[in-house]
């Protein structure tokens, strides 16, 4: 009998799942339902659309024809209802689809702070292409913008607005940028770069409300009672997995949709993956959420296999993200958390992982005073995390040492003995575990 697979979500998790299913089940009927009326595009690329580095067409990375050839059907529409008993979903336009296996890859949405005026025209978040288009439209007429929040998205919004000639003010609630993940030196490095781009940083400022005129943003008001006139307020205080469909289906949820290491939810025929899923790591017994492009692809691939009844349980690798913040290429690997609370993010941001918040008690730091900086997070017997800013030469070997949990005990002492020793010890570790250039 032909198996019917329905995937809700046309993002990386959904698409990777569809492709994996096709590899293992050549006869199955595969349908993707996505809420956006565009084809598959790069969400992280939206930041570069805002700065003008690429035109919109460049975001579309996978031609629809590839999926047509693979017999993957795509429907534009929003799912309104799931009936797990009858194995059926219904879209808002009334269309119904039956499934044998269902995947929820519905992603996460930006949260907005509960302050007066937050729904005024001119308050923006950055979740999708429509949002980016709206921001660009608004920026054309705007003189001044305020940005609140933290993590990567807040910076991308600020840089995008500034690149469009808008006077941009970044209002930080805390006293430094992304304090839960970056150390003070790293925060200062990014802040210095932003200042060079003309972005004005305000510290210890908390948004109290948005003041409107004729339904549009006219100013922001802060807790200390002062106001700052602006035409745009961009918000990036964190994201929330979309849970509505899971609730309708009676699935168990926490911060995200609960899934086990085979991506199965609490209903055996419904799976969850990507930003929306809170996945159990059988090794630690903990559930984790990532908001990462490569993690969403991994999830999707693994979930697709499981939906076909093949594949191995998922082991969450040390999360990994590389991004350009304030013009500095930055790689975050594994547990790099500083232990500090981040007051600018109320939940997980985009390009973020809760594993970065876990922190160890020992660090090794090497900085050259310019934009090149390296921070290693040391566990008792292995490296648990690393931050690599600027020169990326060590990023790949470090990723290997962390992901493969390479034993560092014999070099650990040297790793805490100052910059020169750190470099030497690292080199020795790398050479000893994976000889350069060898397979």
User: Of these, 20, 41, 43, 235, which contacts ligand FAD (CB under 6 A)?
Assistant: 43
CB atoms within 10 A of CB 351: 21
d(CA 75, CA 194) in angstroms, rounded, equals: 41
Is 317 exposed, middle or buried, given 0-12, 13-18 or 19+ CB atoms closer than 10 A?
middle
Q: Does 152 bind ligand FAD (CB under 6 A)?
A: yes
- Which of residues 47 and 236 has its CB atom nearest to other proteins in the complex? 47
Residue 430's binding partner among ligand FAD, other proteins, none (Cβ under 5 to 8 angstroms by kind) is other proteins
Q: Where are the alpha helices (DSSP H) in 40-145?
A: 46-51, 64-69, 129-141
Length of the chain measured in residues: 439
Helices (H) and strands (E) in the chain, counts: 11, 28
Give the range of 66-74, 161-169, 210-218, 287-295 binding ligand FAD by CB under 6 A: 287-295
120/434 with CB nearer other proteins: 434
Residue 189 token pair: 């490095």
Encoding tokens for residue 104? Answer: 């929820």
Q: Which of 23, 24, 28, 36 binds ligand FAD (CB under 6 A)?
A: 36
Q: Is the Cβ of residue 117 or residue 151 nearer to ligand FAD in the bound state?
A: 151
With binding defined as CB under 6 A, does residue 275 bind ligand FAD? yes
Residues 351 to 410 in contact with ligand FAD, rule: CB under 6 A: 351
The one of other proteins, ligand FAD, none whose footprint includes residue 242, by CB under 5 to 8 A per kind, is ligand FAD
- Signed CA dihedral, 17, 19, 21, 27: sign only: positive
Chain contacts with other proteins (rule: CB under 8 A): 42-45, 48, 53-55, 58-62, 293-294, 320, 322-324, 329, 331, 392, 395-397, 399-400, 403-404, 430, 434, 436-439
3-state secondary structure 225-276: CCEEECCEEEEECCEEECCHHHHHCCCCECCCEEECCCCECCCCCEEECHHH
Shortest distance in whole angstroms from residue 236 CB to other proteins: 17
Where do contacts with ligand FAD occur on this chain (CB under 6 A)? 8-14, 33-36, 43-44, 46-47, 78-79, 105-107, 126-127, 152-153, 156, 242, 245, 274-276, 291-294, 296, 321, 323, 350-351
């Amino acid at each position: 009998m032909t198996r019917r697979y329905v995937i809700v979500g046309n993002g990386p998790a959904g698409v990777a799942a569809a492709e994996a299913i096709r590899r293992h089940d050549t006869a199955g009927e595969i349908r993707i339902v996505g809420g956006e009326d565009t084809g598959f595009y790069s969400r992280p690329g939206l930041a570069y659309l805002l700065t003008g580095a690429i035109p919109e067409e460049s975001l579309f990375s996978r031609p629809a024809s590839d999926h047509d050839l693979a017999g993957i059907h795509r429907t534009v529409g929003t799912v309104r209802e799931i009936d797990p008993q009858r194995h059926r979903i219904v879209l808002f336009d009334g269309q119904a689809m039956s499934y044998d296996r269902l995947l929820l890859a519905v992603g996460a949405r930006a949260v907005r702070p509960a302050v007066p005026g937050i729904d005024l025209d001119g308050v923006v978040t950055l979740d999708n292409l429509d949002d980016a288009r709206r921001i660009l439209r608004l920026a054309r007429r705007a003189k001044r913008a305020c940005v609140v929040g933290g993590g990567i998205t807040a910076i991308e919004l600020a840089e995008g607005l500034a690149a469009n000639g808008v006077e941009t003010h970044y209002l930080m609630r805390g006293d430094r940028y992304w304090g839960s993940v970056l150390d003070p030196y790293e925060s200062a490095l990014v802040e210095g770069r932003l200042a060079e781009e003309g972005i004005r940083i305000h510290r210890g400022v908390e948004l109290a409300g948005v003041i409107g005129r004729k339904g549009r943003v006219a100013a922001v008001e802060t807790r200390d009672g002062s106001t700052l006139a602006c035409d745009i307020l961009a918000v990036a205080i964190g994201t929330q997995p979309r849970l509505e469909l899971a609730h309708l289906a009676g699935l168990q949820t926490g911060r995200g949709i609960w899934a086990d290491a085979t991506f199965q939810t609490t209903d055996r025929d419904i799976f969850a993956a990507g930003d929306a899923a809170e996945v159990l790591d059988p090794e630690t017994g903990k559930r984790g959420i990532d908001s990462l492009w490569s993690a969403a692809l991994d999830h999707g691939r693994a979930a697709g296999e499981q939906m076909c009844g093949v594949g191995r349980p998922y082991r969450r690798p040390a999360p990994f993200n590389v991004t350009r913040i304030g013009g500095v290429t930055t790689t975050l690997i594994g547990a790099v958390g500083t232990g500090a609370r981040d007051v600018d993010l109320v939940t997980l941001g985009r390009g973020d992982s809760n594993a970065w918040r876990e922190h160890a008690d020992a660090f090794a730091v090497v900085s050259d005073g310019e934009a090149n900086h390296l921070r290693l997070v040391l566990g008792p017997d292995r490296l648990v995390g690393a931050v690599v800013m600027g020169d990326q030469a060590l990023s790949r070997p470090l990723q290997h040492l962390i992901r493969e949990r390479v034993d560092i005990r014999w070099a650990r002492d040297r790793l805490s003995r100052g910059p020169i020793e750190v470099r030497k010890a690292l080199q020795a570790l790398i050479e000893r575990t994976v000889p350069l250039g060898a397979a």
